[in-house]
Structure 1
Amino acid sequence: MAVIEDWMPPTRENYKFILQLWTFYPLFASLQWVVSWYGMGKTSVANSRFNIPGRIAWMTMESPGFLTLLYIMSTLTRAQGIADLPWQNKVLAGLFVIHYSYRAVMYPLMAPSMSPIHVIVWVLGLSFQLANATCIGSWLAAYGPTTAAAWEAQLAPWSTLQFVVGIAVFYLGLAANYYHDDELREIRRREEQRQARVTLENGTPVQAVDKHYRLPEAGLFQYMLYPHYFVEWVEWAGFYMAAGWGCVPARMFVVNEVFAMLPRAVRGKQWYIQRFGADQVGRRWAVIPGVI
């Protein structure tokens, strides 16, 4: 217990150390451009002995992020002698929890099926969540602005306007994320319904749909193959705006998400072309319209 108390909540020195390591994450994520293997989703191998069932892996990989942030927000303020945090800190922490309570809990529960996740991908995803939540949680709990005056300085010269616009951008990205995630779920829901009709008519057994894919058409899928990635970047760009341009943890979150997800989107477009053909994919971009 003494060891845990010494390590948690993060001291300012530990926070700075983890944040410094976090700034080097893009170098690590860039390895995806030269390593084609990625044991999750479309490219997962169903029969690997190192797989974890999709829903279990996803929930245990993503949930520690918002749980860590809540723990730090609860303990670090007391450790630093902060009686009460400004409302901005609480709002931003709430946005983080809203996103990840959906992403970590509701998303896998609503999915008709989920492909298995390799244990290496699970470890990498868990590490991302813990590092990110530690940096953002520590900044919000004690090591960023903790007074009204500090927030005025953080967001100067238009503090209220910047915060409000940032929150609006966040919610725009969040709503678009929900929408495009549901479009992907709808593909498998329709396949399940189709198989159920065939089973009723012919008596054939229903098959798993975790590897059933079609080209989605609704919303931004008309223009790009991974709009759910793009709008999540928009979402966290809004969070960064609301936290202030000097918030290094929020800035690194946006940067690290782009470096982590962009190679997967580019390779994913290649996968779609191989599976459905260039004519079917058409002029869709991978993830950023007009760029890539």
Structure 2
Amino acid sequence: MECWDAAVSSLSLALMVLAVAYLLRQTRTPTRYGRYVPADIRCCSARLGWLVQEVPSFLLPLMLLLLTEPDTEQPGRTRRGTGRKLLVWTFMLHYFHRSFIYTFLTRGRPVPLIIVLSAAIFCSINGFLQGHHLLHCAQFKDTWLTDARLAAGFLVFVLGLTINIHSDHILRSLRKPGETVYRIPHGGMFEFVSGANFFGEIIEWCGYAVAVWSLPAFAFFFFTVCSIGPRAYQHHRDYQQRFEDYPRSRKALIPFIL
């Protein structure tokens, strides 16, 4: 498959414009999901919804990997070496967990169909964008595997993934199967922020963007901040209104700051 530079740049810029638009929309109308879903909205089960919306970001890069043939190596350049595939699998790791592990562990509320559809479209586009760019467009020097940005970015990604998974575990442990009640989460990053799971995911994609060091990766990181950052604030405000004894030292998303 040939590189479509114009398409990659256009999709990346469109992603950033969409991120700003989504951020502005959420400041006026909070996203209707989870505890904020009205009774009259059509929904599907949380497990089915998460699977349908997240799995395209795993399957599309996987398909590109399987269909991609190795290039002839060029002096001073590597097109599809081990490091390149490592970054693709790094991206896919998050969505493997979301699609096939988190999905079957979640005890969340039903998800509105419109959100499932919108998320599935986004994950399809972004999954193709990240996979296609890494496998067919990005150019790296032979020495890039020892670059500090790659090592730092990968470590930050692992840190964010760990925070995200641990925070999800804490949230699940607050409910018994079948319960829909809300309780104050404690432990891990929840001691510092209300949106610990969101904080972890933002850290993940920040690390990914640093490791890849490209416009598509940065565009995805920017979209993540604009889309789930407001949700952390929304949760923070709901916790404060719901519980009189909610810890006042906690911030919404960024420890000690915001």
Aligned residues: 251
Report if the CA contact (8 A) 1:9-1:72 is conserved. no
Stretches (4+) displaced over 4 A? none
Structure with more contact order per residue of length (Cα contacts < 8 Å, sep ≥ 6): 2
With 26-35 and 159-168 compared, the bigger mean Cα shift is at 159-168
Asked if 1:170 is matched to 2:122, the reply is no
Percent identity, please. 25
Instruction: Give distance in 1, aligned partners of 2:14 and 2:163.
Output: 31
Counterpart Cα distance in 2 of 1:179 and 1:9: 40
Uncovered stretches (5+) of structure 1, i.e. residues with no partner? 1-7, 193-207
Offset at residue 170 of structure 1 (A): 1.2
Counterpart contact for 1:230–1:287, Cα < 8 Å: yes
- Structural RMSD (CA): 2.2
**More displaced stretch, 164-173 vs 219-228:** 164-173
Q: Which runs of 5+ in 2 are unaligned?
A: 73-78
2:97 aligned partner, one-letter code: Y
- Report the counterpart of residue 50 of structure 1 in structure 2: 42
Quote how far apart the aligned CAs of 1:49 are.
Answer: 5.2
- Secondary structure of the residue aligned to 1:289 is coil
Q: Residues 184 and 10 from structure 1, CA distance in 2 versus in 1: closer, same or farther, beyond 3 angstroms? A: farther
Find 2:236's aligned residue among 269, 277, 280.
Answer: 269
Alignment of 1:57-76 (within 5 A): 57-75=49-67
The structural deviation recorded for 1:9 is 8.4
Secondary structure of 1:106's match? helix
1:159, CA displacement in angstroms?
A: 4.2
The question of whether the paired residues in 1 share the 8 Å contact of 2:198 and 2:253 is answered with yes
> Does the C-alpha gap of structure 1 residues 266 and 164 become closer, same or farther in structure 2, counting only changes over 3 Å?
same
**Contact preservation (8 Å) 2:19, 2:222:** yes
Offset at residue 257 of structure 1 (A): 0.3
- The corresponding residue for 2:32 is 39
Q: Under a length normalisation based on structure 2, what TM-score does the superposition of the two structures give?
A: 0.89
Which AA in structure 2 matches 1:171? Answer: V
**1:284 maps onto 2:250 in alignment:** yes
- 1-side partners of 2:15 and 2:248: how far apart? 37
SS at match of 1:130: helix
Shift of 1:127: 2.3
Give the Cα–Cα distance (whole angstroms) in 1 for the partners of residues 15 and 249 of structure 2.
Answer: 36
Contact 1:226 1:287 in 2 (8 A): yes
Deviation at 1:41, TM superposition (A): 1.5
Cα distance, 1:101 vs. partner? 0.6
Post-superposition offset of 1:62: 0.5
Q: Using the alignment, how far apart are the partners of 1:223 and 1:126 within structure 2? A: 31
Matched, 1:231 2:225: no
Contact 2:153/2:210 (8 A) holds in 1: yes
Deviation at residue 10 of structure 1 after TM alignment:
7.6
Q: Which residue of 2 aligns with 1:202?
A: none
Indicate the residue corresponding to 2:76 in structure 1. none
TM-score by length of 1: 0.79
How far apart are residue 281 of structure 1 and its match? 3.7
Q: Which structure 2 residues correspond to residues 237-252 of structure 1 after superposition, within 5 A? A: 237-244=206-213, 247-252=214-219
CA distance in 2 between counterparts of 1:142 and 1:126 reads: 23
Correspondent of 1:109 among 104, 125, 129: 104
